[in-house]
Structure 1
Amino acid sequence: MTTILLLLVAYLLGSIPSGLWIGHYFFHKNLRDFGSGNIGTTNTFRILGKKAGTVVFAIDLLKGTLATVLPLLFGIATISPALFGLFAVLGHTFSIFNHFQGGKAVATTAGVILGYNPWFILLLAVFFFTSFYLTSMVSFASVLSAAVAAIFVLVLPAFHLIFASYDWLFTSIILFLACFIIIRHRDNIARIRNKTENIFNFGLNITHQKHNI
């Protein structure tokens, strides 16, 4: 019963639509009516600015982290904490407070990995920020990092690098979330291929997309 209740708590944590609420209460804007219409970090940066975007990113990240450590806080050791993180990601993307809609799962998934294995998220951050600098696209960096995570979660434990051994539930969840993130970015991928993806005014923009931010 405790496990079920904590999974529900994890989902509700993930469901907190930080971008939507911050936009509404502090900027009197509904993010769903601007930009991409997404309530996640990137559109918050685009519409509400750097400070709001940073706060939304931090909240969305910590939702995943807190959900992942919930079982540890309550002494539950019979199931991988990644399962609780998964429920937070599902809450983030299918929020009960936002008509079961939400973000693209990147920040909250990063929070799950942070709560499970901080070294792994540091490794993925290298790929994320390097690709972000080269392409100026958060979408490209997100998709690449998701793909890298899927590969590394299969390979690294075999060599006892970062992971002491396989946690097959964690591995399965990361594989699922990697695919989920890529699918959620399918429109971005199409725009990247057409060289019409929105980018930040940061980095090299080596694929020559149009500027937006």
Structure 2
Amino acid sequence: MEVVIIGGIILLAYLIGSVPTAVWVGKKYYGIDVRQHGSGNAGATNTFRVLGKKAGSIVMAVDIFKGWAATSLAVLLLHWGVIAPDQLIMYKLILGVMAVVGHIFPVYVGFKGGKGVATLMGMVLAVHLQVALLCLGVFLVVLLLTKYVSLSSMLAAIAFPLFLLLPVFRPEPLLLGFGVLIAVMVVLTHKKNINRLLQGVESKANINPFKSK
């Protein structure tokens, strides 16, 4: 029975992550499939680029919430007595990863989604709130200074394992290893963005507070 419950929760985490926020917002309110414009990704970065600040902010907020909600399902497993307290971090990571996989390969729209950075941020918020808030601060500062969502995402991801190394946090080895892994993965999934940044042709996000698109 426990295996069935765990399997069902893992599937639910994937389905939550699969909610194609960018696609649904773009089609319903703008008549645009963001996957057919810009970078072709169905994520917050491309939504900022194609639809502007308002739509991009909504998509980013919902995608962050997806990651947080799916990861937090592990607390239910603990509450139901399905997992032990020392397994909580492990299952949070498993469920969070499934949400990110769902965002990248969403079942609802032909398995063509985004890069999963916002959903990953939501996952990190549920796993380690303090470090996640520090990384969110890095993201926002870099975004405001450069207007590059891709650069902001990469630096925030790299900052995660670095912040975990601070003596005040004393992270579990599993969490630290995961932090290094996600930093590498985020950088690797942004190779095209890195090339465009180096060439000076990367698109900037529309984050002008006096202008909404």
Provide TM-score, normalisation by structure 2: 0.84
Q: 1: CA distance between counterparts of 2:133 and 2:88?
A: 24
2:180 to 175, 185, 188: 175
Match of 1:33 in 2: 36
Compare 183-192 and 122-131 and name the one that shifted more. 122-131
2:189 to 184, 192, 195: 184
1:131 to 135, 142, 145: 142
AA of the residue aligned to 2:162: I
- 8 Å contact kept, 2:45–2:149: yes
1:23 to 14, 23, 26: 26
Match of 1:68 in 2: 71
For each residue in 1:180-204, what CA deviation from the matched residue of structure 2 results, as whole angstroms up to 9, or x when unmatched?
111111001001111111113569x
2:117 matches 1:114: no
2:161 to 133, 150, 174: 150
Match of 1:46 in 2: 49
**Count of residues in Structure 1 that have an aligned counterpart in Structure 2:** 198
2:211 matches 1:200: no
Q: SS at 1:29's partner residue?
A: coil
For each residue in 1:60-86, what CA deviation from the matched residue of structure 2 results, as whole angstroms up to 9, or x when unmatched?
001110111101023243342122111
AA of the residue aligned to 1:134: L
1:95 to 106, 131, 153: 106
Q: SS at 1:193's partner residue?
A: helix
Q: 1: CA distance between counterparts of 2:163 and 2:134?
A: 10
**Higher RCO, 1 vs 2 (CA within 8 Å, ≥6 residues apart):** 2
- 8 Å contact kept, 1:83–1:173: no
Structure (1 or 2) with the greater helix fraction: 2
For each residue in 1:89-148, what CA deviation from the matched residue of structure 2 results, as whole angstroms up to 9, or x when unmatched?
111112222332221221111101111222111111222222223322111111111111
Match of 1:210 in 2: none
Q: 2: CA distance between counterparts of 1:187 and 1:166?
A: 32
Compare 180-189 and 66-75 and name the one that shifted more. 66-75
- 8 Å contact kept, 1:68–1:85: yes
AA of the residue aligned to 1:194: Q
Structure 2 residues without counterparts, runs of 5 or longer: none
Match of 1:9 in 2: 12
Q: CA RMSD in A?
A: 2.0
- 8 Å contact kept, 1:86–1:173: no
- 8 Å contact kept, 2:104–2:112: yes
Q: SS at 1:198's partner residue?
A: coil
Q: 2: CA distance between counterparts of 1:94 and 1:106?
A: 13
- 8 Å contact kept, 1:83–1:169: no
Q: 2: CA distance between counterparts of 1:16 and 1:201?
A: 24
Match of 1:209 in 2: none
Q: 2: CA distance between counterparts of 1:139 and 1:178?
A: 13
